[in-house]
Amino acid sequence: EDQVTQSPEALRLQEGESSSLNCSYTVSGLRGLFWYRQDPGKGPEFLFTLYSAGEEKEKERLKATLTKKESFLHITAPKPEDSATYLCAAFTQGGSEKLVFGKGTKLTVNP
Amino acid sequence: DADVTQTPRNRITKTGKRIMLECSQTKGHDRMYWYRQDPGLGLRLIYYSFDVKDINKGEISDGYSVSRQAQAKFSLSLESAIPNQTALYFCATQGTSTDTQYFGPGTRLTVL
């Protein structure tokens, strides 16, 4: 069964305190690994897609990396406006192409 | 204007009522999806459509039906709503030349 697990479930950081969110996946065939940001009461907002092990992508204070078993979302010197839930999703290939989501990591950055 | 819109944004209804949630998009994408989100369970796929004549069940389709009225419109119906269908519902779209799904703002549905 395809599965995506995110850890930790919740993370509290002080402004400027860098950290990483983890996404481990077990899928029959990975076509791509996605990261989304979701603010309360809103739809997920696309951040990154990673396709192959070793690939990295950056956007402002966020950097996403991918290995054969997991992905990390590194947050460097976070600000309060980075507070949100970060969702990881694996796009599976094969018989039924679909996005399999993790449960998310709720990030709170205190000023 | 938003590329993916959902109506209504909030709905409170009673057990047994028929409910329709609507999704419209201006992105020109062929593929459309319906998900529900519950606290602690993440996003789960209900139905998806790769074009107007192609409708597929997702992992939790029981109790739901869909209609793809046009390339830009995809509706989700709850034929007889029950309390455990209380959730956030999201529509998403995807182009055929990209793997990225773009989400609407969501509909918060409460079934009493």
Which of A61-65, A69-73, A95-99, B61-65 is predicted least confidently?
A95-99
Q: Residue A45 corresponds to which amino acid?
A: E
Give yes or no for residue A54 having a pLDDT over 60: yes
Q: For residue B99, which residues of chain A lie inside 8 Å, CB to CB? A: 31-32, 34, 49, 91
Q: Best interface-test mutation with B: which of A4, A96, A105 has the largest number of B CBs within 10 A?
A: A96
Grade residue A55 by pLDDT with cuts at 50, 70 and 90.
Answer: very high
Give yes or no for residue A96 having a pLDDT over 70: no
Q: Nearest Cβ partner of A46 from B48, B100, B106?
A: B100
Q: What is the pLDDT of residue B96?
A: 83
Across chain B, mean pLDDT equals: 94
Mean pLDDT across B82-88:
96
Residue of B62 and B2 predicted with greater confidence: B62
Residue of A103 and A27 predicted with greater confidence: A103
**B41 interfacial to chain A (CB closer than 8 Å):** yes
Contact B34, B66 (CB under 8 A): yes
**A41 interfacial to chain B (CB closer than 8 Å):** yes
**A104 interfacial to chain B (CB closer than 8 Å):** yes
Mean pLDDT across B11-28:
96
User: Residue B35 belongs to what H/E stretch?
Assistant: strand B31-38
Give yes or no for residue B1 having a pLDDT over 80: no
Quick check: helix, strand or coil at residue B109?
strand
Across chain A, mean pLDDT equals: 94
pLDDT digits (tens, 9 = 90+) for A18-53: 999 999 999 888 889 999 999 998 999 999 999 999
Residue with tokens 């028929």: B18
Q: Mind giving me the DSSP string for chain A?
A: --EEEEE-SEEEEETT--EEEEEEEE-SSEEEEEEEEE-TTS--EEEEEE-STT-EEEETTEEEEE-SSEEEEEE-S--GGG-EEEEEEEEE-SSS-EEEE---EEEEEE-
Q: Nearest Cβ partner of A42 from B42, B43, B106?
A: B106
Q: For residue B29, which residues of chain A lie inside 8 Å, CB to CB? A: none
- What distance lies between CA B80 and its chain's CA centroid? 16
CB contact under 8 Å between B42 and A101, yes or no, is yes
CA B97, CA B57: separation in Å to the nearest integer?
22
Q: For residue B48, which residues of chain A lie inside 8 Å, CB to CB? A: 98
Which tokens in the block code for residue A63? Answer: 């950097």
